[in-house]
Amino acid sequence: MNLNNKIAIVTGASTGLGKSISIKLALSGYEIILASRNLEKLNEVHRIINSKGGKSKVILTDVSNESDIENLYSKIDIERVDIVVNNAGFGIFNKIYKISSDEWDNQINTNLKGSFLMTRYVSESMIKRKTGRLVFINSVAGINAYPYSSAYVASKFGLRGFTSSLREELREHNIKVISIHPGAIDTPFWNKVNVDFPKDEMLKADDVADSVVHAILAPDNVVQEEVVIRRTGGDF
């Protein structure tokens, strides 16, 4: 694959799966735009990529904030953007009557609206160029419903609907829309979540990132439209 200084944007790139995907794409030859809300951790990923001979740039970004998205795209050459990995997301798990309106809105805005905004600002350029890969890190919660997860599941079911429609819209323009549905991954996502999952039995970020990058870098005439990644033993 001739990358010709192509750019890959990864949101939620500061830790966990986003960090692993960023490093692996950088080693594949892409210049990585590292986007998240944590500048210190983004700079750490930037240093790792540079130490391995890769190229990256840090842009502090809250994907739920449209002005942040505008700022991100204003700082790069959008015509070089070949990949956008929409990885930023979080969950709050609780009984329905204990979820506040702000907690509901924050999950919808980050997990669903953020992916819409990232796509909206780059799609016209990709359509004109007749190329591009839009990647959405969804969840098995975008396929199956789970208790105490109403806002999170709603955001992920919504994301699956959005990507399914988007895929049909962009197919004729040779743009790949790839949905990734992993099970529980051992990342900082779970540090503030009150669930009793054994972290040592969760999927590992590097293993999932290998599958994601494999789907992204498939031959031009092949697209893995939906990829479900689970433990061999099944979900918790």
Structural domain count, the chain:
1
In a domain, 236, yes or no: no
Q: Which domain holds residue 123?
A: 7-229
What pLDDT was estimated at residue 236?
Answer: 59
DSSP string computed for 100-153: -HHHHHHHHIIIIIHHHHHHHHHHHHHHHHT-EEEEEE--GGGTS--TT-HHHH
What pLDDT was estimated at residue 194?
Answer: 61
In a domain, 106, yes or no: yes
In a domain, 234, yes or no: no
* Structure-block tokens of residue 152: 């999170």
Q: Which one from 30, 73, 121, 152 is the annotated catalytic residue?
A: 152
What pLDDT was estimated at residue 3?
Answer: 67
In a domain, 20, yes or no: yes
Query: Which stretches of the chain score pLDDT less than 70?
Result: 1-4, 190-197, 236
What pLDDT was estimated at residue 188?
Answer: 74
| Per-residue pLDDT reduced to its tens digit, 79-105 | 999 999 999 999 999 999 999 999 999
Q: Are residues 78 and 33 in contact, defined by beta-carbon separation less than 8 angstroms?
A: no
Task: Provide the Cα torsion 45, 199, 209, 137; round to 10°.
Answer: -100
In a domain, 102, yes or no: yes
What pLDDT was estimated at residue 199?
Answer: 75
What pLDDT was estimated at residue 86?
Answer: 98
What pLDDT was estimated at residue 193?
Answer: 64
Q: What is the CATH number of the domain that holds 196?
A: 3.40.50.720
- Answer left, alpha or beta for residue 17, where phi above 0 means left and psi between -120 and 50 means alpha: alpha
73 noted as active-site residue: no
In a domain, 60, yes or no: yes
| Per-residue pLDDT reduced to its tens digit, 147-163 | 999 999 999 999 999 99
In a domain, 2, yes or no: no
* Structure-block tokens of residue 117: 């905004």
In a domain, 95, yes or no: yes
Q: What is the pTM of this model?
A: 0.94
